[in-house]
Amino acid sequence: MHRALLLILFALPAAAQEPAWPAEFAAIIADSSSMCEGFSVSPEAVSQRDLNGDGTLDWVLDSAGFTCANSYGTFCGTGGCAVETLINGVQGSLLLHSWDTETVGSTTYLTAPNRSGETARFLWTGSEWQLQ
């Protein structure tokens, strides 16, 4: 009997579970879903990285991972896509085409290509991102 119950539990689809996103990101996703029909969020849209070098994983929401069935480019434009961060409970926002992180010495930067294709570095001040 117990074995049959375990088999049933393991057979349930993983999609039935709600994602463990921060409430701030869940609200952004909910607002974005009302902008179009057939809205979906790719698994890569919400991720965790150490953005400020403190050894703790922070949250990143990249709207490049949002899609609409009935339109293209709703969430990204020529300036890039909205990238929201949540670091120690403080939200930050950037408009980027892509992003990564880089640690130089003891300083961690969020990096992104600029209009010239060079790497721009952004440093988290504790309240906002500053271009370095």
Amino acid (one-letter) located at 63: S
Question: What global pTM score does this model have?
Answer: 0.82
Give the residue from 109, 40, 31, 102 showing the smallest Cα distance to 71. 40
Question: So what's the pLDDT on residue 8?
Answer: 37
| Rounded (5°) CA angle 39-74-132 | 115
CB 51: neighbour CB atoms within 10 A? 25
**Element housing 32 (H / E):** helix 23-33
Mean predicted lDDT score pLDDT of the chain: 87
The pLDDT of 23-29, averaged and rounded, is 94
